[in-house]
Amino acid sequence: MDAAYVFAVRFRLDPSRDVRVEPRVFETTLRRPADPPGEPGWLFFRDNLWRGDLADPESFRDLTSEALGVPVESVEFRAFETDREYDDALREEIAADLAPFKADSVSEVVSKYLGSSVEVVGPEDT
């Protein structure tokens, strides 16, 4: 099982010495592995995303800056990349208890938090 949250991150370098860098701003892709469904941390999507966007961009930017050790200007959620096995397990775990998601179906939960950003890669895609 494999899955990851993918983010576009824009950060800058602020040299502490009397030096200059060009460019000062960089963009990169950050991938955060998704915890297995049912394990601690698996609800990352519910706690941080809303309709395929970050629920609290400023707070997430600060956390990303702390994790990367550079001033982060912006973070944007791009995709939830998953294999079929993880996607099936995730949907089963959601279906086991819809109440915390305040939704009537698994599809509603996925749409509510991940929007249309789910990319399932199967063996035929590798």
What's the pLDDT tens digit per position in 60-93?
999 999 999 999 999 999 999 999 999 999 999 9
Q: What mean pLDDT value characterizes the chain? A: 94
List, for residues 23-50, the tens digit of each pLDDT value: 999 999 999 999 999 999 999 999 999 9
| pTM score | 0.90
Q: Is 86 left (phi over 0), alpha (psi -120 to 50) or beta?
A: alpha
pLDDT for residue 126? 44
* H or E element, residue 64: helix 57-68
